[in-house]
Amino acid sequence: MIKFRLAENLTLDYSDFRDEGLRVAIFARSGGKSSLAALFAEQALEQGLQTLVIEPLMEYNALKKLNDVVWVAKGGDLPLVTANPEPLR
């Protein structure tokens, strides 16, 4: 059973989202978003779930070092395309 423990009194049960998958987006002013996103990502990776983090900064470098993940950004494993991308063929 896959669960995400976000706080001492807050746990999400993945089985509630099994059919369509769990999608998480975190939007807020500065302060705390990266920590919460890293908590989700770490627990998802530990439990074998497919995980995508869109983050142009290198805040997830430690996560990359500990897991088999690809970092998309300027200077990352794959380039971050910001304007007029060519379609994949």
Residue 54 lies in a domain: yes
Decide: 78 and 67 in contact? Cβ < 8 Å.
no
Can you list the positions of beta strands (E) in 1-89? 3-7, 10-13
Q: Please state the separation of Cα 70 from the chain's center in Å.
A: 11
Q: Where in the sequence is the domain holding 8, given as residue range(s)?
A: 3-66
In the block, tokens 């990776």 appear at 45
Give dist(CA 5, CA 7) in Å, integer. 6
Residue 46 lies in a domain: yes
| Tally of structural domains, the chain | 1
Return the closest-CA partner of residue 23 out of 8, 44, 48: 44
Q: Report pLDDT digits (tens) over 55-73.
A: 666 666 677 777 777 777 7
Residue 55 lies in a domain: yes
pLDDT band for position 88 (cuts 50, 70, 90) = low
Residue 21 lies in a domain: yes
Decide: 12 and 4 in contact? Cβ < 8 Å.
yes
Residue 52 lies in a domain: yes
User: What's the pTM?
Assistant: 0.61
